[in-house]
Chain A
Amino acid sequence: MPKDTTQCFIPAYLHFDIAANRLFLSGSWTSLCLNDQALNATLQTIPIGGKIVIDGRELEALDTTGAMAILHLRARLEQAGISRIDLERFAKPYQHLLSLVKETPADKPLQPRQLGLLEHLGKISLDILMDMVAYLAFIGSLTTQSLRWLFNPRRIRLREILAEIQVAGVNALFIVGLLSFLMGVVIAYQGGGPLDQYGANVFIVDLVGLTILREIAPLVTAIIMAGRTGSAYTAEIGAMRITEEVDALRSLALHPLEILALPKLAALIIVMPLLIVFADLAGLAGGIVVSDLMLGVGIESYIERLPQTFLMPSSFWVGLVKAPVYALIITSIGCHQGFQVRGGATSVGYATTRSVVQSIFLVIVVDALFSIIFNKLDL
């Protein structure tokens, strides 16, 4: 029988003795030591016709893979026109192995059916459509669940909401502030040059104020939240689906949305405006630094001018109004994709990717809509 680890250093080999008309198998015929394509070269040297004996006396080791290869060898020789092939001098355990392999059916696995181009296109379109329908249904049940909270405030899970605020809000302060500050620096730096040429240095306050408060702070915050928090929601709920924790909630007569999605939604609706205000301050601070150092507009004149600038203070409120909408988009897509997870670990990965891409996409689309609406409203 197979010896211990040394056998792997003796590759499977075969040689043909023309005088005795015997094909000797030697070495280890095991999965690790076998290269059946290389062995086929030896077969070319065997004269066609008559009978042949496959001799197993020199075998060092044999496993099911080797036995399968011997049966292949035999079939190949038969195809080549050798009328009679005998297997001789195989040790008893090897004979058992050979007959075991022979008796077990070796059929082909069913291949998953490949889709045609048109079929594929149709499937993708249908998937997108179904995903949208499912998302609308999700928004619907999210709404009914939140109405239950509104009419029955004792059901509100304050502790979970606070925990979510800590994770999604407080822990994100640094990254939101830093990015917004940098955006303020960049805008002041880029815009300062042309303004300086016209001697309109003081308008840097208008430029930075308008862009940061209106667009950059809300957008940067939303994008960070989508990438940081929305993806975490998807992964968390997705993993809970795989481990059947979501079903466990259902079996305990609890609505998964109420436990998993609503606290997140509430937390983000509270946290988003606060983060945006923080991002506003950080962005303006970035602008002040550049104005002071490069354009000679000091802090005092900056702060003095800020309330009198173009479209103030409506810009501040315009930026803030977007917050709850972004919060809704990010939580609903994050949770929805999490609940869509089916099967295994890869599914969580796909869902998380989709969650981030879809929320950022939707945030920007909604931002564009907001711009048009506010423009029409002269805000």
Chain B
Amino acid sequence: MNDEPIIQLSGIHNCFGRHVVHKDLSLQVYRGEILGIIGVSGGGKTVLLHTMAMLRRPNQGKVRVFGRDTHSLAPDEERLLRLRLGFMFQNGALFSSLTVFENVRFPLDEHTLLSPELKQEVAMLKIHLAGLETDSAAKYPRELSGGMIKRAALARTLALDPTVLFLDEPTAGLDPVTAGAFDDLVVKLKSMLDLTVVMVTHDLDTLWHATDRVAFLANQRIVAVAPIETLAKLPHPAIAAYFSGRRVSQARERAWKPK
């Protein structure tokens, strides 16, 4: 982990009309870590992720990505910066008129000068890295199961080898086995491809297994950032409320059982 943060939010205000989502929020993401973002539903986690990924301009505050202020970027600079940020949307957001293979090849077609053969092989490589079989590549998104859609979305996100991967609820709606496999995949890809991962999640197993640090979002700001073991024991009322309850202790037990 370097000292220079890869993404730096400072003094972020976000609001929709009169509804304030974030107020004077600050957060740093460091190279090579997996940062989890948690908090209650409707607390603005997805908005925070969009703000970090340059998909939403905050109403106030500074977003620095790779040390650059994203508020005043030349179009070319912005394009290059965006290409280094991969975003996996909650429902996949695969283009429904394209097959999985075409979805993954699409960014390669648009942004690279590679030969067609190389593009095809790179796209297939990403599909395999995301854990999909060859026969899934020719399928359309509507023919895929929930877990496969997540994997196909991951493959498209990886198409241009981004440096930072944003995952919005990557395991929501998956069964525990599939979700666990997806967590393992993210951890594996993170170390193999030298990624930095920022993920919003409600999945407690994911939090215990996959993350290096976890940021807790409550009362419109980040109240704590710490490894999950430390965070879960903090005395803050919102955090205590989140981590009390049976589901959490079960997840903790599972996490601490020797493998």
Contact = CB atoms under 8 A, between A and B. Distances in A.
Interface of A: 1-2, 4-5, 8, 30-32, 34-38, 63-65, 68-69, 72, 93, 96-97, 100-101, 104-112, 342-347
Given A64-B161, A343-B142, A345-B97, A36 B122 contact: no
A32 B115 contact: no
A344 B97 contact: yes
B84 A35 contact: no
Interface residues of B, number: 44
Contacts of A68: 118, 121-122, 125
A31 B160 contact: yes
Given A32-B83, A36-B118, A104-B129, A93 B112 contact: no
Interface string B95-135: 11101010000001001111101101111111011000011
Contact of A30 (B99, B129, B142, B161): B161
B40 interface: no
B160 A32 contact: yes
B96 A32 contact: no
B115 A37 contact: yes
B140 A8 contact: no
Contacts of A69: 114, 118
Contact of A65 (B77, B83, B101, B112): B112
A43 B160 CA distance: 26
B121 A32 contact: no
Contact of B122 (A1, A2, A31, A97): A31
A32 B97 CA distance: 25
Contacts, number: 112
A36 B128 CA distance: 22
B80 A109 contact: no
A166 to B, nearest CB: 27
B55 interface: no
A65 B114 contact: yes
B20 interface: no
Given A2-B163, A32-B111, A93-B194, A346 B96 contact: yes
B193 A106 contact: no
A109 B137 contact: yes
A156 to B, nearest CB: 36
Given A5-B81, A34-B114, A65 B122 contact: yes
B118 A344 contact: no
Contacts of A35: 113-114
B161 A31 contact: yes
29 contacts: A5-B66, A5-B68, A31-B111, A31-B112, A34-B112, A34-B114, A36-B114, A36-B115, A63-B161, A63-B193, A65-B122, A68-B125, A97-B193, A101-B125, A105-B124, A106-B121, A106-B124, A109-B120, A109-B124, A110-B138, A112-B138, A343-B96, A343-B140, A343-B141, A343-B142, A344-B95, A344-B97, A344-B142, A346-B96
